[in-house]
Structure 1
Amino acid sequence: MEEEFEFGFTEDPKFSVERYEEMIRNHDQYFFDAQAFENIIDYYIEKNDPPKALQVAEYALNQHPFAAIFLIKQAQLLVVTNKVDEAFAALEKAAMLEASDPDIYLIRGNIYESQERYGEALENYEKALELAEETDEVLLHIAYVYQNMGDYETAITYLKLCLKQNMENQDALYELAFCYDVLDNQQESVLFYQQYIDNEPYSYAAWYNLGNAFTKLSLFEKAIDAYDYAILIKDNFASAYFNKGNALVNLEKYAEAIDVYRHTFEYEQPNADTYCAIGECYEKLEQMDDARAFYKKSVKMEPKLADAWFGIGVTLDFEERYFEALHFYKKALDLDIANADYWFAIADAEYKLGHMDEAEHAYEKVVELNPIDVDAWLDYSSILYEQQRLQDAIEVIAQAIKNNPEAAELYYRMVAYLFAKGEYNEALNNLEMALSADPEKHYILFDYLPQLQKNKVIVDIINRYTK
Structure 2
Amino acid sequence: MEEEFEFDYSEDPKFSVERYEEMIRNHDQYFFDAQAFENIIDYYIEKNDPAKALQVVEYARSQHPFASVFLVKQAQLLVVTNRIGDALAALDKAELLEAGEADIYIIRGNLFENMERYSEALENYERALDLAEETDDILLHIAYVYQNMGDYDTAITYLKLCLQQNMENQDALYELAFCYDVMDNQEESVQFYMQYIDNEPYSYAAWYNLGNAYTKLSLFEKAIDAYDYAILIKDSFASAYFNKGNALVNLEKYAEAIEVYRQTFEYEQPNADTYCAIGECYEKLEQMDEARSFYKKAVKMDPKLGDAWFGIGVTLDFEERFFEALHFYKKALDLDIANADYWFAIADAEYKLGHMPEAESAYEKVVELNPIDVDAWLDYSSILYEQERLHDAIEVIAEAIKNNPDSAELYYRMVAYLFAKGEYSEAMNHLEMALAADPDKHYILFDYLPQLQKNKVILDIINRYAR
Please tell me the TM-score bracket, short chain as reference.
over 0.9
Partner residue of 1:218?
218
Partner residue of 1:40?
40
Q: Check conservation: 1:220, 1:248, Cα contact below 8 A.
A: yes
Deviations 1:200-245 (A, max 9, x none): 1111111111111111111111111111111111111111111111
Residue 434 (structure 2) pairs with residue 466 (structure 1): no
Partner residue of 2:325?
325
Cα distance between partner residues in 1 of 2:369 and 2:240: 33
Partner residue of 1:306?
306
Cα distance between partner residues in 1 of 2:463 and 2:280: 44
Deviations 1:261-288 (A, max 9, x none): 1111111111111111111111111111
- Give 1:292 shift: 1.1
Q: How does 1:3-402 map to 2 (within 5 A)?
A: 4=5, 6-11=7-12, 13-402=13-402
Cα distance between partner residues in 1 of 2:295 and 2:421: 46
Q: Which amino acid aligns with 1:110?
A: N
Cα distance between partner residues in 2 of 1:76 and 1:200: 35
Q: Check conservation: 1:61, 1:70, Cα contact below 8 A.
A: yes
SS in 2 for 1:4: strand
Cα distance between partner residues in 2 of 1:382 and 1:276: 33
Q: TM-score scaled to structure 2, two decimals? A: 0.97
- Give 1:257 shift: 0.9
Deviations 1:122-180 (A, max 9, x none): 11111111111111111111111111111110111111111111111111111111111
Q: Check conservation: 2:9, 2:15, Cα contact below 8 A.
A: no
SS in 2 for 1:167: coil
Cα distance between partner residues in 2 of 1:373 and 1:190: 32
Cα distance between partner residues in 1 of 2:302 and 2:19: 47
Cα distance between partner residues in 2 of 1:240 and 1:25: 54
Q: Which amino acid aligns with 2:222?
A: K
Cα distance between partner residues in 2 of 1:22 and 1:272: 52
SS in 1 for 2:442: helix
Q: How many aligned positions are there?
A: 466
Partner residue of 2:3?
2
- Give 1:32 shift: 3.0
- Give 1:28 shift: 4.2
- Give 1:463 shift: 1.8
Cα distance between partner residues in 2 of 1:235 and 1:30: 53
Q: Check conservation: 2:207, 2:226, Cα contact below 8 A.
A: yes
Cα distance between partner residues in 1 of 2:371 and 2:458: 30
Q: How does 1:401-416 map to 2 (within 5 A)?
A: 401-416=401-416
Q: Which runs of 5+ in 2 are unaligned?
A: none
After TM superposition, the structure 1 stretch with the greater mean CA deviation from structure 2, 272-281 or 369-378, is 272-281
Deviations 1:349-375 (A, max 9, x none): 000000000000000010011010000
Cα distance between partner residues in 1 of 2:309 and 2:125: 48
- Give 1:18 shift: 4.0
SS in 1 for 2:5: coil
Q: Check conservation: 1:5, 1:29, Cα contact below 8 A.
A: no
Structure 2 vs 1, CA of residues 68 and 419 (structure 1 numbering), >3 Å: closer, same or farther?
same
Report % sequence identity: 85
- Give 1:53 shift: 2.4
Cα distance between partner residues in 1 of 2:346 and 2:286: 20
SS in 1 for 2:53: helix
- Give 1:25 shift: 4.3
Q: Which amino acid aligns with 2:189?
A: S
Q: Which amino acid aligns with 2:107?
A: I
- Give 1:418 shift: 0.6
- Give 1:113 shift: 1.1
Q: Which runs of 5+ in 1 are unaligned?
A: none
Structure 2 vs 1, CA of residues 275 and 94 (structure 1 numbering), >3 Å: closer, same or farther?
same
Partner residue of 1:449?
449
Q: Which amino acid aligns with 1:9?
A: S
Structure 2 vs 1, CA of residues 333 and 60 (structure 1 numbering), >3 Å: closer, same or farther?
same
List, as ranges, runs of 4+ consecutive aligned residues in structure 1 with deviation greater than 6 Å. Answer: none
- Give 1:387 shift: 0.2
- Give 1:300 shift: 1.2
After TM superposition, the structure 1 stretch with the greater mean CA deviation from structure 2, 46-55 or 292-301, is 46-55
Cα distance between partner residues in 2 of 1:212 and 1:48: 38
Cα distance between partner residues in 2 of 1:129 and 1:154: 16
Cα distance between partner residues in 1 of 2:40 and 2:318: 63
Cα distance between partner residues in 1 of 2:389 and 2:85: 71
After TM superposition, the structure 1 stretch with the greater mean CA deviation from structure 2, 15-24 or 330-339, is 15-24
After TM superposition, the structure 1 stretch with the greater mean CA deviation from structure 2, 300-309 or 30-39, is 30-39
Q: Check conservation: 2:173, 2:205, Cα contact below 8 A.
A: yes
Q: Which amino acid aligns with 1:293?
A: S
SS in 2 for 1:230: helix
Cα distance between partner residues in 2 of 1:276 and 1:21: 54
Cα distance between partner residues in 2 of 1:308 and 1:41: 49
SS in 2 for 1:411: helix
